[in-house]
Structure 1
Amino acid sequence: MGSGLLYVQAAQRLGLQPITLSDDPTRYDHFGVKEAETIRVDTDDLDALIRECSRLRATYEIAGITGLLDSVYATVGKLCRHFDLRGPNPGAIEQCCDKYTQRQLLTAAGVPMPAYRLAANAAEVECSAAEIGLPVIVKPAVGSSSVGVRLCRTADEVTEHTKHLLGGQHTWRSAPRILVEEFAQGPYYWADIMGNEVFGIGTGDFGPPPHFVYHWQTYPAPLSDDEHERIADVSLSCLRALGLGWGPTGIEFRWTKRGPVVIEVNPRLHGSPTPQMVHLAYGVDLITEHIKLVIGDKCDLRRRHSHFAAARFLIADCDGTLDWIAGNDQVAAVSGVAEVKFYVEPKMPIVRKGDYRDCLGHVIAASSTLPRTEAILRRAVDLIDWSITPFPTIDDVTLT
């Protein structure tokens, strides 16, 4: 559900020549796009990136450098500083991407958040969960896209998930550090920010616990003026506390008994399909406006209209081999459907991970009213079906 293709297309519409630097270009949906060059390079190696950009600068004028993922965005800031280009503050990005450091800075600024503890081993995780009180969220201190994030309602679930994170099944980019957090309960919202302007607020919900896999999203969120103002005020407090304020920021909230409580601050745009929903709702392409900032142009966040957009995610219901998935042509023909996208193809293995990788695709609809948009979306999703053959079990195998 990345936005790489959207960034490549937006750059091309602005008359730019996009060049993607990636350690594995084939993973992304913009690989092979016409007139979009891709170069393989280790994105964890700053010196290698500097050498590659220097080589490119001998042929091209580099208008700007940006990235989409938390794991590379601080590096993007360092590259921009090296080549005297506009970009984010790498120090601010690094401290924001470490969720524990982020929590400490927000706490010091008085930003409302769940209770939290940092743990380095199983004993510390279990002790932290007991101190905070069940249920708790157990997740990596550095990560994204809900990978490794789980709601634990019992001590046994805390132990089980900790073993999963520390037992070699989870990929760590650095030394294992686990964040244990109070489970903030209430409606879910997110704020989209460009610079120091809270551009819009969306809402959504997730599939059944213990995981956090998006089920649906709506943009804009139906909020009162007071609710909108409270989320916006907390959002700006986050920017000040974390030293952000250049380019895009995405902040996630739960509306609890205390009001808006910050779940996470991401120093980037929210991933697809949020940019598409924003464009449908307000007529503003945040990706294009971000690229304008990157190349030194003035961005324009004036809203062209006020509609409602909504998305539904297609979630795998079992592990196995995808036999078929159908309905995209019928859905695309439904009036009001803006986009239908399948992330999978027949014969692909489906292995649910409890994160974004469980999604088979999404559908986006838009109209002038929220009830009509939701009705369009229900009609569209009803036209989609798929079949997954479960993997054979030991009992299914006959030894000869």
Structure 2
Amino acid sequence: MARRVLILIEGASNTLLSVQAAQRLGLHPIALAADPTQYDYFAAEGVEAIRVDTDNLDELIRECSRLRVTYDIAGIVGFPNPSESVNATVGKLCRYFDLPGPNPTSIQRCCDKFTQRQLLAEAGVPLPAYRVAANATEVESSAAEIGLPVIVKPAVGSGSSGVRLCRNVNELAEHTTHLLGGKHIWRSSPRILVEEFAQGPHYSIDIMGNEVVGIGALDFCRPPHFVYREFTYPAVLADDKHNRIADVSLSCLRALGLGWGPTNVELRWTKRGPVVIEVNPRLPGSPAPQLVQLAYGVDLVTEHIKLVIGDEWNLRGSNSQTAVARWLVADRDGTLDWIGGDSRAAAVSGVAEVKFYVGPKTPIVRKGDCRDCIGHVIAASPSPARTKAILQRAVDLIDWSIIPFPAEKEQSASPHLHTSAQVKSDDRQT
């Protein structure tokens, strides 16, 4: 009998959760990546890696066809957290090989935030006021129509890349120049989304199929950028708010033709209730799946793979905890001289994970998006207050030092030492 395999199509840097879940389900993981050498844990985890141009659908079809001669391909997924465009490719591959998978047309519509908003608006889903612009003049007029402050971001993108809160005309002009002046990489003709700044608590809703699994509260660092700071599951919500958030989230699926597999909805609770910020037809990025498992007892990654290979999934939770992640955010540009304290932090009772994304001698150039995060700490306990206390104790044990780049050394001759006091100062200001 041919060996059952799970094909993983490269879409982001974190494949480990899917690899481990596949192996627990008795599947042999095979990763298709443009540069397999960047994933240093493939060998340790027993992953077969094949070099393929993952932007070329025909080449992916040829490689999967070749593998199917030897193996029983049980399913195809993107690496978590895969981009929406990769999920569209996965959907096309699944249809070609007659395997369970998402609707590629629905996913492609979601990739374009402007198209997504048009479809949501037509269905009556509450949204911020928005306009699309192709040049600086249109950005300026759109902001004038909506009224400052506004959010300005690329119509296609992820990870908060190029997203900024513009509070006045100077910030608006500065960010427009950044997006259109060659610093931002566009894969197609530049289109900028200008939208009302929906003010209020930010929530992340995780859905599998048509069932809301969990709702988390997401906090960001100081504006004007939207760099992740802290993520809490479950969000503390009264029943009526929880139900309204769930109802609005499910209405997004109907409007966008989704409902197969995972969907992540982000919204803010404003003066007029829930307002949808965006819909992502994929699993949420790490560490959200770990938080959902700790808080609810549902392994989103494993249950998704079960769906992909045609097995019956189980979304019934068994846990009842508060799980919180705190991101470690670079506080200046320079070279990371050292970072430590992870073993001490991990030893704190109630800490579930301490992870550094970078190592010593890594250049740090802050972008004002998710790339500014250099690690995270996760804690969980039955009590929200206790979880927060555990998390803060662990974070206080972590330190790092960033040496300024040569051009900055005239102003700052000594390394910048991150301290727990700095963390607490940041907490007060965000």
TM-score interval w.r.t. the shorter chain? over 0.9
- Secondary structure of 1:72's match? helix
Q: TM-score, normalised by structure 2?
A: 0.90
Q: Which residue of 1 aligns with 2:178?
A: 164
- Secondary structure of 1:246's match? coil
CA distance in 1: counterparts of 2:124 and 2:296, whole angstroms: 32
Of 148, 151, 154, the residue aligned with 2:162 is 148
Matched, 1:379 2:393: yes
Letter in 2 for 1:186: G
Gaps (5+ residues) in structure 2? 1-11, 412-430
The residue correspondences of 1:305-344 to structure 2 (distance < 5 A) are 305-344=319-358
CA distance in 1: counterparts of 2:303 and 2:289, whole angstroms: 11
Q: CA-atom RMSD, angstroms?
A: 1.4
CA distance in 2: counterparts of 1:36 and 1:388, whole angstroms: 35
Q: TM-score, normalised by structure 1?
A: 0.97
Of 107, 115, 126, the residue aligned with 2:140 is 126
Pairwise CA distance, 1:250: 0.1
The answer to whether the 8 A contact 2:84-2:110 is kept is: no
- Secondary structure of 1:8's match? helix
- Secondary structure of 1:57's match? helix
Q: Which residue of 2 aligns with 1:38?
A: 49
The residue correspondences of 1:234-253 to structure 2 (distance < 5 A) are 234-253=248-267
Of 385, 389, 392, the residue aligned with 2:403 is 389
Pairwise CA distance, 1:71: 2.6
CA distance in 2: counterparts of 1:227 and 1:28, whole angstroms: 42
Post-superposition Cα deviations, 1:172-222, rounded to whole Å, max 9, x if no partner, equal: 122211111110000010100000001110002100111101100100001
- Secondary structure of 1:244's match? coil
The answer to whether the 8 A contact 1:2-1:271 is kept is: no
Pairwise CA distance, 1:3: 4.0
The answer to whether the 8 A contact 1:281-1:307 is kept is: yes
Letter in 1 for 2:366: R
CA distance in 2: counterparts of 1:394 and 1:251, whole angstroms: 41
Matched, 1:181 2:195: yes
The answer to whether the 8 A contact 1:119-1:179 is kept is: yes
CA distance in 2: counterparts of 1:140 and 1:147, whole angstroms: 8
Matched, 1:280 2:291: no
CA distance in 1: counterparts of 2:182 and 2:200, whole angstroms: 33
Letter in 2 for 1:64: G
Q: Which residue of 2 aligns with 1:193?
A: 207
Moved over 2 A (4+): 24-34, 394-397
Gaps (5+ residues) in structure 1? none
Q: Which residue of 2 aligns with 1:24?
A: 35
Q: Which residue of 1 aligns with 2:74?
A: 63
Of 53, 59, 67, the residue aligned with 2:64 is 53
Identity %: 73
CA distance in 2: counterparts of 1:245 and 1:29, whole angstroms: 34
Matched, 1:4 2:15: yes
Pairwise CA distance, 1:25: 2.9
Post-superposition Cα deviations, 1:311-350, rounded to whole Å, max 9, x if no partner, equal: 1000000000111101001011100000000001011111
Q: Which residue of 2 aligns with 1:363?
A: 377
Q: 1:110 to 1:83 in 2, by over 3 A?
A: same
CA distance in 1: counterparts of 2:145 and 2:341, whole angstroms: 49
Of 243, 249, 270, the residue aligned with 1:256 is 270
Letter in 1 for 2:148: L
Q: Which residue of 1 aligns with 2:8?
A: none
- Secondary structure of 1:201's match? strand
Matched, 1:111 2:125: yes
The answer to whether the 8 A contact 1:8-1:30 is kept is: no
The answer to whether the 8 A contact 2:134-2:190 is kept is: yes
Post-superposition Cα deviations, 1:126-174, rounded to whole Å, max 9, x if no partner, equal: 1111111111111110110101111111111111111111111111122
CA distance in 2: counterparts of 1:395 and 1:188, whole angstroms: 38
